[in-house]
Amino acid sequence: MNREEILSKVKEAFVSVLEHDNFQLANETTADDVDGWESITHMMIITEVEKTFNIKFKLMDLMNMNNVGDLLNTIESEL
């Protein structure tokens, strides 16, 4: 799966949790840039992403995840 495909699936996970698609996701996108993306929805997004890719993140990775780029990198490393 290339990075673009990963990003598109990640976006689907965001839309399903946030219940809107009024945002763009790029490497440098953070929670500040997306309406409704905060602590609680982040946890739901993580769960959704884990389900989509059938992976399980490590707490150490999640702890240092600061933007969408970090998320994509971690997914890539798990696939």
Q: Which residues make up the interface to another protein (CB under 8 A)? A: 19, 30-32, 38-43, 47, 58-60, 62-65
Least Cβ distance, residue 5 to another protein (angstroms): 25
Other CB atoms within a 10 A radius of the CB of residue 75 amount to 22
List all residues 6 or more positions away from 65 whose beta carbon is below 8 Å from its beta carbon.
71, 74
Q: Which is nearer to another protein, 15 or 65 (CB)?
A: 65
* Dihedral sign from CA coordinates of 15, 65, 38, 35: negative
Least Cβ distance, residue 20 to another protein (angstroms): 9
Least Cβ distance, residue 32 to another protein (angstroms): 6
